[in-house]
Structure 1
Amino acid sequence: MAEQTDRPGIAAAVIVRDGRVLMVQRRVEEGELSWQFPAGEIEAGESPEAAAVRETAEEVGLTVQATRVLGERVHPKTGRRMSYAACEVVEGTAAVVDTEELAELAWITHGQIAAFVPYGLFPPVQAYLDTEMRRGKDRSG
């Protein structure tokens, strides 16, 4: 799919806690994209990391901080420029706050990723989750 350069980029927050990653289900599906990370458009003058932090607070009520950029790409399903930021929870409990955009959320295990995202994740994000989710499982198990 061609890149849609006329639209702002999207920043996604990849949040791992206790060996699970936070996924949200959009009310309006973008093709096959039903479950995804908390994400939204990057506003003018905003860094992708700041957008990921803001969108997480707006969508699920969690205060997070971006710890590193995992990568950027043009999403093969939507044509939108995507930036992925690893984030850690500072405070709060995840809940569906933006009820217009989100249907539900789930903290999923490493083994559930393929069921929630059958088309696969962006390789740098998958590599990060492979490491971080095992680390969290080792600590909690």
Structure 2
Amino acid sequence: MTQWTVHGTRRIYDSEWMSVDLDDVEIPDGERFEHHVVRLPHPSTAVVVVEGEHVLLMWRHRFTTGAWGWEVPAGRLEQDESPEIAAIRETEEETGYRVQVEPLITINPLNGISSHTTHIFVGTNAVKTGEHDPAEAAEVKWVPLNEIPAFIRKGLIPCGITLAALSTYLTLQRTT
């Protein structure tokens, strides 16, 4: 097996949200070069909230891409917070629903340039505790699960983490 070797790291930007490093790497054929790496100090969570044959989605705008799309609730873990607690907290803050969570999958959404990890959960037994956060979503809606493939084909779910979460949930739901 061959793998890349990291000979050193030089930080070029740092904040509480992220850092950007230049890693001195060597690939298996011996070539060495600097590779940009985005490091986020806190993992994140995402939750596929399901109720019967419906999933809870948020319609939101992302200024970074200039795109609107449907997303599952997601966010970063706070200091010393478990992924499960973060998933429950983020879901309630963003959607106004409190849920119980079970692990679904853990992914590295940009593993070619980032060390970031996202823990994806399935949320069940949703209880409405308040209103959704208008800074997080223009709308929160229960969408039939059988409509998700059409949403994906139409480009209505541009978020990679949401795509991974929903695709994994639907795949495993059909195979277990």
Structure 1 length normalisation: TM-score? 0.72
Q: Which amino acid aligns with 1:21?
A: V
> Which one has a larger percent helix, Structure 1 or Structure 2?
1
The correspondence for 1:112, drawn from 121, 124, 147, is 147
The correspondence for 1:84, drawn from 115, 120, 133, is 120
For the 8 Å contact 1:12–1:39, the answer to whether it is kept is yes
For the 8 Å contact 2:49–2:126, the answer to whether it is kept is no
In the aligned structure 1, how far is the partner of 2:79 from the partner of 2:133?
22
Identity %: 29
> Which one has a larger percent strand, Structure 1 or Structure 2?
2
2:166 equivalent to 1:97: no
Structure 2 length normalisation: TM-score? 0.60
Specify the SS of the correspondent of 2:108: strand
For the 8 Å contact 2:47–2:87, the answer to whether it is kept is yes
In the aligned structure 2, how far is the partner of 1:21 from the partner of 1:9?
23
In the aligned structure 2, how far is the partner of 1:56 from the partner of 1:3?
29
Instruction: Report the counterpart of residue 126 of structure 1 in structure 2.
Output: 167
For the 8 Å contact 1:10–1:41, the answer to whether it is kept is yes
Where structure 1 has 5 or more consecutive residues not aligned to the other structure, the ranges are 134-141
For the 8 Å contact 2:70–2:158, the answer to whether it is kept is no
Higher relative contact order (CA 8 A, sep 6+): 1
Where structure 2 has 5 or more consecutive residues not aligned to the other structure, the ranges are 1-35
RMSD of aligned C-alpha atoms? 3.2
Instruction: Report the counterpart of residue 4 of structure 1 in structure 2.
Output: 38
2:55 equivalent to 1:21: yes
Instruction: Report the counterpart of residue 136 of structure 1 in structure 2.
Output: none
